[in-house]
Structure 1
Amino acid sequence: MTFKLYYWDGIPGRGEFVRLALEEAGADYVDVARQPGGTGAMLKLMKDAGDATAPFAPPFLIDGERVVSHVANILFYLGPRLELAPEEEGLRYVANGLQLTITDCVAEVHDTHHPIGVSLYYEEQKPEASKRTTNFLSERLPKYLGYFERVLKQNPKGPAQSVGGQLSYVDLSLFQLVEGLRYAFPHAMRANEENAPALIALHDAVAARPRIRRYLSSDRRLSFNESCIFRHYPELERPS
């Protein structure tokens, strides 16, 4: 059965974490909002569902009659079905916890350029964004990178993957996290990457996987831009 992924057209955003899992697995899926009339259909579904399964916001996934929303929840659902989750049940919860930590980091990245409110333009909150970014780059970014580095190095199965002994959706998401951080904060990432060699090695290994490599060079892969979560505003980042 074909999976239906709903996310905004034109930006990789949170939807990209789900796309990477679907692409790595070679799954049959439709990126609905990128189809003619797809965005309207997505909005109508969110507005008219009329029951507890109605998602608050994209991304969400429809599998048959089942609706699954939120990135970590979607990947927790897809992981076993796409063979991108540990077989051991306990490790699946570890993977979910790691994915939720990635979600936390992505939320903090978003708040560097929208620290006051999502309904305001970036230009309306630039002073606050500057302060928030300074704090994120000096304190939070090294903390997140250091945490994921420790997770990889402490994996009993080796640092080639984050949990268990094989590739999981968490590894794909860590790849995307590094990609997004490099786009948004190139100077800070250059300064911090030497302290996270296992994380960078994981990023490079994921990029070299055959299906991911083909996906990254295809028109299905959307480029980062200043409408996305990961945004590059040079004035927010001063070279260290």
Structure 2
Amino acid sequence: MAYELYYWDGLQGRGEFVRLALEEARAPYVDVARGAKEDGQGMSAMMAELESDGPYPPFAPPFLKDGDLIVPHVANILFYLGPKLKLAPHDEALRIVANGLQLTIADFVTEVHDTHHPIASSLYYEDQKEEAKARSKDFLAHRLPKFMGYFERVLTQNPDGPRHMVGKTLSYVDLSMFQIVEGLRYAFPKATKHLAEHYPHVIALHDAVAARPNIAAYLASERRLPFNETGIFRHYPELDRAAR
């Protein structure tokens, strides 16, 4: 049976971290919210799952259905899928390490989101523009270097070499790091122009992932939604200029 991925239609968002793993593994999956209502899919199908009166309903997308099992949260989904898709270390201790790294990525993604919505997600960007400028300036000056410096150090100190975030083979964490770099470059093209100079191992990893045949095919397909100003990574020129 195909995995069922539930996420908002029209944006990459957090769902993209799961899509990349499924695409790399060429695992059969259905992006439910993007499907047709007459096929039992679409946004109404996702909302029905969220509003279900069954046990343990998910709080919010993304969540994954594998048969009757519902797995919420990106890091939790990838922790579940990793061994099944052969995108996680065989060693149990390293699988825990991978999960910890993915949770750190989740923290970073939240901080990226808060650059354009620093007050409340319920408000439009235009309602918190000045606050977003201040938040972005601090993010680019302090938080981005802190996280990216950490990821660079993890690669440098990997006992199996700097080609992967954990262990000696590709994992879902590597795919997620690719998405982080892609998103940052879209949102802050000026501020990230020299990423390769500061974080060479992170950028080398990004480039290696982009060149993988299954990922390259996905990126060239219609399944890969473009970045836009409804997702997590948003490009507002006035926020990018805040880094100067």
Give the TM-score of the pair, scaled to structure 1.
0.98
Partners of 1:93 and 1:58 in 2: CA distance: 23
Q: Deviations 1:99-141 (Å, cap 9, x if unpaired)?
A: 0010000000000000010100000001111110000000000
- Deviation (angstroms), 1:50: 3.4
Partners of 2:227 and 2:165 in 1: CA distance: 25
- Deviation (angstroms), 1:227: 0.4
Q: Which of the numbers 31, 48, 55 marks the counterpart of 2:52?
A: 48
Corresponding residue for residue 230 of structure 2: 227
Partners of 1:158 and 1:140 in 2: CA distance: 26
Structure 2 matches for 1:48-197, cutoff 5 A?
A: 48-51=52-55, 53-197=56-200
Q: Deviations 1:28-81 (Å, cap 9, x if unpaired)?
A: 100000101211110011012432x21110000000110000000000000000
- Give the letter for the 2:168 counterpart: G
Q: Deviations 1:11-32 (Å, cap 9, x if unpaired)?
A: 0000000000000001010000
Partners of 1:105 and 1:188 in 2: CA distance: 16
Q: Secondary structure at the match of 2:113?
A: helix
Structure 2 matches for 1:16-35, cutoff 5 A?
A: 16-35=16-35
Q: Secondary structure at the match of 1:98?
A: helix
Moved over 6 A (4+): none
Partners of 1:48 and 1:75 in 2: CA distance: 23
The answer to whether the 8 A contact 2:195-2:203 is kept is: no
The answer to whether the 8 A contact 1:142-1:192 is kept is: no
Greater alpha carbon shift after TM alignment, 185-194 vs 61-70: 185-194
Partners of 1:68 and 1:48 in 2: CA distance: 15
- Deviation (angstroms), 1:193: 3.1
Q: Secondary structure at the match of 2:191?
A: helix
Partners of 2:54 and 2:67 in 1: CA distance: 18
Partners of 2:68 and 2:204 in 1: CA distance: 39
Q: Number of aligned residue pairs: give it.
A: 239
The answer to whether the 8 A contact 2:156-2:201 is kept is: yes
Q: Secondary structure at the match of 1:187?
A: coil
Give the TM-score of the pair, scaled to structure 2.
0.96
Corresponding residue for residue 43 of structure 2: 39
- Judging changes above 3 Å, is the alpha-carbon distance between structure 1 residues 143 and 28 closer, same or farther for their aligned structure 2 residues? same
Q: Secondary structure at the match of 1:30?
A: strand
Partners of 1:140 and 1:104 in 2: CA distance: 11
Q: Deviations 1:167-214 (Å, cap 9, x if unpaired)?
A: 000000000000000000111111343110000000000000000000
Partners of 2:145 and 2:196 in 1: CA distance: 9
How much identity, in percent, do the aligned residues show?
67
- Give the letter for the 2:93 counterpart: G
Tell me how large the CA RMSD over aligned residues is: 0.9
Partners of 1:50 and 1:118 in 2: CA distance: 28
